[in-house]
Structure 1
């Protein structure tokens, strides 16, 4: 059994931000063991936006946790050639007693960003997510969409690791817009694309929404039902919603789900 979590020198592997090779994850032991992921091979290039798509319970969130080092694979190798990744969830989980600016400054402090310049950097990141002038407001004074913007700025702040300036940033996003209304979700998707293009961050984005995956992803990776395996990929997806591609992916997703249902029957 071999498990490694590797961060090699950037010069050795400039074409790879994250690479999973033969990764499996098993929870529990013996008869109670549950295999969440099995033999997963996946590579994310620097600056690439990859969407993970699949039915509930297929291991998408588990994969993010492994890449983030919140958990370790049972077998396989994960190579990461980026800053320590930032994880963004559906719930913004902001500190309610801190202002928007202080929430971002806290992430900078935990990332080892020097005290001098933290406030200016936090203001810069809030400006990047179009919250300029909102630094002094607390979470309860902000709308749901604005709170997610603060969460995004905080995630970007956590990638600012001392001595990691030459490594690309990595954002791991677990359905961050799922709880937003349709209009706010549409705006946030556009904002994320703008910021990702500007910063050239690598993004691994989990979603159940095929239309969201088509809009956001440069590449879409479909996982099978549990245990999760990569069963199909779509590359160079269009920048805008493509009905034909949405229909194609939905058909493949239904096929994956129905195959799992037949096996479980």
Structure 2
């Protein structure tokens, strides 16, 4: 089997930001081989918000790792941005010895931005996630929700570039799963606001159907291992009877996938 990886400019809004064609990923070889993904076909447009939904172990995180360039597919063709996509995880993964502002500055420093320019950009991003005035706080001085906001600001710094015009791709691996329900609800709303303001392409992994329907323009369901795309839904209505019907349809299909795997 062969694999091809290529890239598209992150600021080409007319482009497909991410394309997976026949993507497969197998770990190990011989009798010990485990196929995590098989025949995955998925296009994500620049500026689109896509949620990947599926049972535990279906390959969602593996797919994000491939898009991020942290691993390479075993087979298929993968097109991803020329710039490195940024990642946001369940844990904020902030550097505890740095302030919130310096954590956000880090990807800007690595890109070669001057100290004054990266401080100004970090302040803009902290303001965007509603953390004005907290740049000098260290992670242990912030709540869990605040730490995730800092992590989001840092991810945006990497995704949008020094001048904030890069568009970029943000990969989010269940970033709100460890938070309490109220904080999670608030941050979901904040993420939508930030996405709308920045035009960043978002690929968001979740187990939560309601979260997927609330956030995404498109929900993509992966089968149980080996993961492949088995269904997609465009989200045109998040509330009311139509939104509830969509939630019920996705939940029913997800249960079928889980049941077929258990059988």
State the TM-score bracket (shorter-chain normalisation): over 0.9
Cα pair distance change 1:149/1:6, threshold 3 Å: same
8 Å CA contact 1:100–1:135 kept in 2: the answer is yes
3-state SS of paired residue (1:117): helix
Q: Give the deviation of 1:160 after TM superposition.
A: 4.3
8 Å CA contact 1:112–1:161 kept in 2: the answer is no
Which stretch shows the higher mean deviation, 54-63 or 239-248?
239-248
3-state SS of paired residue (2:115): coil
Q: How does 1:1-265 map to 2 (within 5 A)?
A: 1-9=1-9, 14-81=14-81, 83-161=83-161, 167-240=166-239, 242-262=243-263
Residues of 1 paired with 2:238 and 2:168: CA distance?
22
Q: Give the deviation of 1:123 after TM superposition.
A: 0.6
Cα pair distance change 1:160/1:41, threshold 3 Å: same
Residues of 1 paired with 2:197 and 2:239: CA distance?
18
Give the length in aligned residue pairs. 261
Residues of 2 paired with 1:56 and 1:145: CA distance?
24
Which stretch shows the higher mean deviation, 231-240 or 195-204?
231-240
3-state SS of paired residue (1:137): coil
8 Å CA contact 2:11–2:168 kept in 1: the answer is no
3-state SS of paired residue (1:95): coil
Runs of 4+ in 1 over 4 A off after TM superposition: 9-13, 164-167
Deviation per CA, 1:39-95: give whole Å up to 9, x if none: 000000111100000000000000000000011000111112463211000000111
Q: Give the deviation of 1:125 after TM superposition.
A: 0.5
Residues of 1 paired with 2:17 and 2:212: CA distance?
20
Residues of 1 paired with 2:98 and 2:10: CA distance?
36
Deviation per CA, 1:165-184: give whole Å up to 9, x if none: 76521100000000111110
Cα pair distance change 1:198/1:165, threshold 3 Å: closer
Residues of 1 paired with 2:114 and 2:250: CA distance?
46
The alignment's C-alpha RMSD in Å is 1.9
